[in-house]
Amino acid sequence: MSAIQIFAFADERAPASRLAAALNAPLVMIETHRFPDGETLPHIPPPAAEISALYCSLDHPNPKLVELLLAADALRRAGCRRLILVAPYLCYMRQDAVFSPGEPLSRDVIASLIGRAFDAVVTVQAHLHRTGDLEALLGVPAMNLIPIEPLAAALPAYDTPPIVLGPDLESRGWVEAWVERLHGQPVVLRKTRYGDRDVRETAEANPVEATGRAVVIVDDIASSGVTLTKAVQRLRRAGAASIDIAVAHAMTTPGVTDALMKAGVRRFVSTDSVRHSTNAAPLAPLLAQAVRTIGQFL
């Protein structure tokens, strides 16, 4: 792959710096001017490398998306011919079906915008439960990275293989991958959601038998914390000796995280896809390898 530049907005300087260091590539910060009416104008210091990567994790996505698309256009005009989006968190993938009449299919709307603006996309543990093929969805080459190794390295050592618990049926594949890594026992809960904060869970088969066992709860996204709280309460009642949580994308508020620790969680670890107090698993080496790989085909 020819020389590459990494571009990023000011609020993502730290993770973008780690990626640039892993790639031994220069990092260029995007200047953004905000007009009085709220419009923004990104500025790319030219020239841009023919192959460039724009780092932008898309949590809290609505204001970020406009700046992202404008910056992609500016990079093209500055000389970039092949543009890779590195978005450790890819937004709007959870709305992957029309669940009620009158709703949009948000996944397809946002994927179309991103696919038209970029030549390739690198992301991490995208919420693809009903999507399957990310490349077909975006219309460009894409890599969806599974961050088990950096997360597992951030967890405590286990004397015996732990129970690996997934909070819903959609987490089954994630649980199976973790079991292969930790050689533990899989347990998948069945979740019924009645609202953003009204979640009820039952075991997929038999009740959870966790007496004296170490348990790792694994999930792709932690947002409201309701699902995790329900799982922790269930495991405490079942006599778990220890409870750890590993999530790809942590977006809980500090109050939720504190409440989980007080409820008996020993360790809560997340990747640095989204800035959070639980970040313990750096993604830069994984992202760098993906950028090298996908860049060879552009």
Residues 6+ apart with CB under 8 A from 242: 156, 214, 215, 266
Tell me, what amino acid is at 51?
I
**Residue 247, amino acid:** V
- pLDDT computed for residue 167 by the predictor: 87
- 10 Å CB burial of residue 209 (0-12, 13-18, 19+) is middle
According to the model, what pLDDT value does residue 200 have? Answer: 47
Domains 4-146+283-295 and 148-281 share a fold: yes
> Structural domain boundaries of the chain?
4-146+283-295, 148-281
User: Which tokens hold the place of 6?
Assistant: 């990494």
Please tell me the CATH code under which domain 4-146+283-295 is placed: 3.40.50.2020
| Cis previous bond, 47, omega within 30 | yes
Instruction: Kindly state the tokens that stand for 150.
Output: 């950096």
Check residue 107 and give its pLDDT.
92
Rounded CA-CA distance 182/165 in Å is 12
Place of tokens 């460009």: 140
In tens digits, the chain (298 residues) has pLDDT values of: 558 999 999 999 999 999 999 999 999 999 999 999 999 999 998 899 999 999 999 999 999 999 999 999 999 999 999 999 999 999 998 887 888 999 999 999 999 999 999 999 999 999 877 667 899 999 999 999 999 999 999 999 999 999 999 988 888 888 999 999 999 999 998 765 444 444 444 444 446 789 999 999 999 999 888 889 989 999 999 999 999 999 999 999 889 999 999 999 999 999 999 999 999 999 999 999 999 999 888 8
Residues whose CB falls within 8 Å of the CB of residue 211, separated by 6 or more in sequence, listed in order = 238, 239, 240
The predicted pLDDT at position 217 comes to 96
Q: Give the torsion through C-alpha atoms of 18, 247, 110, 285, to 10 deg.
A: 20
Whose CA is closest to 69, among 89, 48, 42, 34?
42
Residue 262 CB partners (closer than 8 Å, separation 6+):
none
The topology under which CATH files domain 148-281 is Rossmann fold (3.40.50)
SS3 labels along the chain: CCCEEEEECHHHHHHHHHHHHHHCCCEEECEEEECCCCCEEEECCCCCCCEEEEECCCCCHHHHHHHHHHHHHHHHHCCCCEEEEEECCCCCCCCCCCCCCCCCCHHHHHHHHHHHHCCEEEEECCCCCCCCCHHHHHCCCEEEECCHHHHHHHCCCCCCCCEEEECCHHHHHHHHHHHHHHCCEEEEEEEEEEECCEEEEEECCCCCCCCCCEEEEEEEEECCCHHHHHHHHHHHHCCCCEEEEEEEEECCCHHHHHHHHHCCEEEEEEECCCCCCCEEECCHHHHHHHHHHHHCCC
Q: Minimal CA–CA distance to 273: which of 56, 27, 10, 94?
A: 56
Q: How far apart are CA 59 and CA 251, in angstroms?
A: 8
pLDDT of 191: 62
pTM: 0.91
Cα separation, 160 vs 182, in Å, equals 9
Q: What is the pLDDT of residue 128?
A: 78
Query: What pLDDT score was predicted for residue 2?
Result: 56
Looking at the chain, how many residues does it have?
298
